[in-house]
Amino acid sequence: MTVTQQQCREMDAADPLARSRDAFVLPEGVVYLDGNSLGALPRQAEERVRAVMTQQWGKDLIKSWNLHDWIGVPARLGAKIARLIGAKPGEVLVADSTSLNVFKALHAALCLRPGRRVILSDEGNFPTDLYMAQGLIEQLSDSHRLEIVPPEEIAAAITEDVAVLMLTEVDYRTGRLHDMKALTKLAHDKGALAFWDLCHSAGAFPVDLNGCGADFAVGCGYKYLNGGPGAPAFIYVAERWQGSAEQPLLGWMGHEAPFAFDLDYRPKPGIARFLVGTPPILSLTALEAGLDLFADVALEALRAKSGALGDLFIALVEQELAGSGLALASPRPAAQRGSQVSYRHPEGYPIMQALIARGVIGDFRAPDILRFGFAPLYVSFSDIWTAVAQLKAVMAGREWEKP
Q: Which of 163, 220, 286, 379 binds ligand PLP (CB under 6 A)?
A: 220
Select the span of 96-104, 235-243, 346-354, 358-366 touching ligand PLP (CB under 6 A).
96-104
Minimum CB separation of residue 36 from ligand PLP in Å reads 8
Please list, in sequence order, all residues whose beta carbon lies within 8 angstroms of the beta carbon of residue 157, skipping any fewer than 6 positions away.
120, 147, 149
Q: Which of 9, 60, 112, 128 binds ligand PLP (CB under 6 A)?
A: 128
Candidate list 176, 223, 273, 358, residue with the active-site label: 223
Nearer to ligand PLP, 184 or 390 (CB): 184
What is the helix (H) or strand (E) element at residue 342, kind and residue range? strand 340-344
Nearer to ligand PLP, 221 or 354 (CB): 221
Of 195, 131, 141, nearest to 167 by C-alpha is 195
Select the span of 197-205, 246-254, 328-336, 380-388 touching ligand PLP (CB under 6 A).
197-205
Whether 261 is catalytic: no
User: What is the distance between the alpha carbons of residues 339 and 257, in angstroms, rounded to a whole number?
Assistant: 42
Minimum CB separation of residue 137 from ligand PLP in Å reads 18
Of 246, 242, 238, nearest to 212 by C-alpha is 238
Helix, strand, coil: what percent of the chain each, to 5? Answer: 45, 15, 40
Whether 197 is catalytic: yes
172 part of the interface to ligand PLP, by CB under 6 A: yes
Minimum CB separation of residue 172 from ligand PLP in Å reads 5
Nearer to ligand PLP, 204 or 387 (CB): 204
User: What is the distance between the alpha carbons of residues 155 and 186, in angstroms, rounded to a whole number?
Assistant: 7
199 part of the interface to ligand PLP, by CB under 6 A: yes
Half-sphere exposure of 55 (CA within 13 A, CB side): 8
Candidate list 24, 32, 103, 126, residue with the active-site label: 126
Report the DSSP pairing between strands 162-168 and 193-197: parallel
User: What is the distance between the alpha carbons of residues 10 and 18, in angstroms, rounded to a whole number?
Assistant: 11
Minimum CB separation of residue 339 from ligand PLP in Å reads 12
Candidate list 172, 195, 216, 222, residue with the active-site label: 222
Half-sphere exposure of 165 (CA within 13 A, CB side): 31
197 part of the interface to ligand PLP, by CB under 6 A: yes
- Residues making contact with ligand PLP (CB under 6 A): 97-99, 126, 128-129, 168, 172, 197, 199-200, 220, 233
